[in-house]
Amino acid sequence: MTPCSARNQSGFSLIEVMMALVVLALGGIGMLSLMQSSTRNAAVIQERTLAVIAAENLLNQALLQPRLRGGDAGAYELADNRFDWQLQVEPTTDPDLQRVIMLVTAPGTGSELARLETFRRGANR
């Protein structure tokens, strides 16, 4: 038998294995961070979607009224989420036309989640 020299041996050294583990660990940390960000964004999208639905409901209720009053505000609950809302009515250059704005905000912070604008004819009837 001939003795094997160190140069003829095959395999990985300890340093190569450790570097591979470091690269895999960094990749794993990056993936976890990406998943966390995606989950957080999904929650924000859900909140904004519910706010738009709430704004549509509130605006439709307001438009069914014979007369619109600007400055109305309140709270609205939808799917276990609470939203603050404010109805604004502004005049236009046409005296028989009103601009109607529904704002839905997050309670406490006041950050705007949804804003719907429309026009209503018959403002002076």
Read off the pLDDT of residues 80-99 as tens digits, 9 standing for 90 and up: 999 999 999 999 999 999 99
Q: Which residues pair with 102 in a beta bridge?
A: 87, 116
Per-residue pLDDT tens over the stretch 41-69: 998 999 999 999 999 999 999 999 888 88
CATH number belonging to domain 14-121 = 3.30.1300.30
pLDDT for residue 5 is more than 60: no
Question: What is the pTM (predicted TM-score) of this model?
Answer: 0.71
> By the 8 A CB rule, do 103 and 71 touch?
no
Q: 97-100 long-range CB contacts below 8 Å, 24 or more apart?
A: 97/121, 97/123, 98/68, 98/123, 100/59, 100/62, 100/63, 100/68
pLDDT of residue 2: 57
Give the start-to-end residue ranges of the domains of the chain.
14-121
